[in-house]
Amino acid sequence: MAQRILNFVGGAWTDSSAEVKQNVSNPALGKVIGEVVMTPQEQVARAAETGHKAYQEWRKVPVTDRIQYLFKFKQLLEANIDEIAKTITNEAGKTYKESVAEMRRGIENVEVAIGTPILMQGYNNEDIASGIDEHMFRQPLGVVAAITPFNFPGMIPLWFMPYALATGNCFILKPSEKVPMTSVKMFELLEQAGFPKGVVQLVNGGKEVVDAILDHPYIKAISFVGSTPVAKYIYSRATANGKRAQCQGGAKNPVVIMPDADMDTTTRIMADSAFGCAGQRCLAASVAITVGEARNVFTEQIADAAASRVVGYGLDEKAQMGPVIDARSKSRIEQIIADGEKSGNANVLVDGRGKSVSGYDDGYWVFPTILENVNPESELARTEIFGPVLSLMHANTIEDAIQLVNNRAYGNMACIFTTSGYYARKFRNEADAGNVGVNIGVAAPMAFFPFSGWNESFFGDLHGQGRHGIEFFTQTKVVVERWPQEWSRQF
């Protein structure tokens, strides 16, 4: 029977009388496993008001006490990682191992946010002029909200939540309506961790909930991760309402393969990057640019790797890759491949369309796909496919390769494989991307570094994670003080 997904507002699990609901499916089974309510606007408002009220007390709780809740939350996440990982696999499709890895990256953010007492410190100078001191203090904003995507239902909320809470804000999460169950699991643990009522809340739904969040005056800051068009929409609407916003969009991540790279290792890493999580991550390698002699050998080997990757149900131990998120996504990806082929902008070297996993015939399967000779000027070369599809291009020199890398709207990740210190330095210095890998397939910043998308992959200035998280969720208050001697009372 399908689970009914509730909201968590004011410290209680609340159902909604709303009539609009939406199904949640297991993408490997192609079967409905839950039902999520589309929260009406007035209930979003109630969450904002509840958060606003809770904030009046929460901001006064000493930061050393606030982080104790995060210590408990970390323990609970670790103790329940198996159950959460299974939930992720069931609603998002990725393999169990990928789900566990996702949670570990999420937990790292809880660990970093535990350092908030130092990270939140302001600064000061004595005697900026004779007898006048100046201080900067960091204070929280109030209620803040995150709107998160389907592909990392466990990790991405944790890019924001721990920092927001530790710095003294109240936090509202609106997860993707495709994967609401992971959030429910995490909020059960937040409840156990004992956060005061209203400090951390969950509201489910789609665009109407998003708009209600963007427009509510009590909500001071918006963190978003999703596609670029939606990121732009949210950045624009949140800022038009005077809020601060950090909006992470899509990607098309190029990887340059120099001929001096070890091809066996490079291929293995590239296959993991391109096909891991069925290509549904904003740091998936989606374009491989071979330089010089690297072309033939890499093409051959990556084609083999693509063809031999084991696709299956994520809870099956042998599965190396799961399905894509839903039927619409499957047909969109297949259409892009077909259009690319038809237009002559690519050859389909390995074709992942029209295949199925035995015993899971209703799953949303797209198998690893390799597109060869992709025309760098084509629409295909620029579109984020968000599926297990790797496009191959070629360049004669490192300079040409970097030009291909920089000739795109996105700027989330760019990687290079080489043994040469010179190529590596030139690439990291010149590539227009905020997350750069050297002999790395998925250049995901640790939680103590900002997740640094550039260009159309990010709108805002302060990113998620680490120090940026602390800065985004606090405002600076400068105090200039003078204590004139002549004012002091006499005895």
Over the window 200 to 239, marking each residue x when it contacts a copy of itself by CB under 8 A and - when it does not, the resulting string is --------------------------------x--xx--x
Burial class from Cβ neighbours inside 10 Å (0-12, 13-18, 19+) for residue 344 reads exposed
Could you count the other beta carbons within 10 Å of the beta carbon of residue 342?
9
**395 binds a copy of itself per the rule CB under 8 A:** no
For residue 277, the minimal CB distance to a copy of itself (Å) is 18
CA dist., res. 236 & res. 230, Å (int): 10
Which of 205, 444, 464, 469 contacts a copy of itself by CB under 8 A?
Answer: 444
Of the pair 29, 414, the CB lying nearest a copy of itself is at: 414
Minimal distance, residue 136 CB to a copy of itself, in Å:
5
Q: Tell me which stretch binds a copy of itself (CB under 8 A): 22-30, 114-122, 174-182, 323-331.
A: 114-122
Q: Toward a copy of itself, which CB reaches closer, 3 or 475?
A: 475
Long-range contacts of 315-321 (CB under 8 A, 24+ apart): 315/86, 315/89, 315/90, 315/96, 317/96, 319/95, 320/95, 320/275, 321/95, 321/275, 321/276, 321/278, 321/368, 321/388
Report the distance separating Cα 253 and Cα 274, nearest Å.
Answer: 10
Task: Give 195 or 423: the residue with its C-beta nearer to a copy of itself.
Answer: 423
Nearer to a copy of itself (CB atom), residue 19 or residue 127: 127
Site for a copy of itself in 51-90 (CB under 8 A): 60, 62-64, 67, 71, 74-75
Our CB check for a copy of itself shows the closer of 268 and 353 to be 268
Q: Does 360 bind a copy of itself (CB under 8 A)?
A: no
Q: Which is nearer to a copy of itself, 1 or 118 (CB)?
A: 118
User: Binding to a copy of itself (CB under 8 A): which residues in 125-164?
Assistant: 125-130, 132-137, 139
Q: How far is the CB of 438 from a copy of itself (least distance, A)?
A: 4
Q: Which residues of 252-279 are buried (b: 16+ CB within 10 A; e: fewer)?
A: bbbbbbbbebebeebbebbbbbbbbbbb
The residue (of 30 and 445) whose beta carbon lies closer to a copy of itself is: 445
d(CA 114, CA 199): 17
**Per the residue annotation, which of 170, 247, 277, 282 is the catalytic one?**
282
CA 156 vs CA 65, 161, 191, 374, 430: distances in Å: 25, 9, 19, 32, 28
Contacts 24+ apart (CB under 8 A), 16-20: 16/40, 16/43, 18/43
Tokens of 399: 């300079």
The dihedral over CA atoms of 268, 269, 273, 278, expressed in degrees to the nearest 10, equals: 30
Cα(405)–Cα(443) distance, rounded to whole angstroms?
15
Smallest Cα–Cα separation from 340: which of 385, 309, 403? 385
Quote the tokens at residue 155: 């990790």
- Cβ burial, residue 1 (10 Å; 0-12/13-18/19+): exposed
Least separation in angstroms between CB 368 and a copy of itself: 24
Scanning 113-121, 297-305, 347-355, 373-381 for contacts with a copy of itself by CB under 8 A, the matching segment is 113-121
Give the interface segment with a copy of itself, choosing from 83-91, 331-339, 381-389, 471-479 (CB under 8 A): 471-479
Nearer to a copy of itself by Cβ, of 72 and 197: the residue is: 72
Check: CB of residue 320 under 8 Å from CB of residue 311: yes
Give the separation between CA 154 and CA 100, rounded to whole angstroms.
10
Q: Which of 120, 158, 193, 230 binds a copy of itself (CB under 8 A)?
A: 120
Cβ atoms within 10 Å of 396's Cβ, excluding its own: 10
Compute the Cα dihedral for 392, 393, 397, 399 and give only its sign: negative
Stretch that binds a copy of itself, among 148-156, 157-165, 208-216, 412-420 (CB under 8 A): 412-420
**449-468 footprint of a copy of itself as x/- string (CB under 8 A):** xxxx-x-x--xxxxx--xxx
Decide if 415 is catalytic: no
- Which of 215, 250, 216 shows the shortest CA–CA distance to 230? 250
Which residue in 260, 304, 351, 400 binds a copy of itself (CB under 8 A)? Answer: 260
Q: Is 105 in the site for a copy of itself (CB under 8 A)?
A: no
Residues 414-433 that bind a copy of itself (CB under 8 A): 418-426, 428-429, 433
Q: Which residues pair with 411 in a beta bridge?
A: 454
Residue 450 CB, shortest distance to a copy of itself, in Å, is 5
Q: Does 448 bind a copy of itself (CB under 8 A)?
A: yes
**335 near a copy of itself, rule: CB under 8 A:** no
Round the CA-based radius of gyration of the chain to a whole number and report it.
24
Which tokens belong to 422? Answer: 């010179």
Measured between alpha carbons, how far is 319 from 311 in angstroms, rounded to an integer? 5
**Shortest distance in whole angstroms from residue 160 CB to a copy of itself:** 14
**257 vs 336, which CB is nearer to a copy of itself?**
257
Stretch that binds a copy of itself, among 6-14, 23-31, 153-161, 481-489 (CB under 8 A): 481-489
Site for a copy of itself in 276-305 (CB under 8 A): 291-293
Catalytically active residues are 282
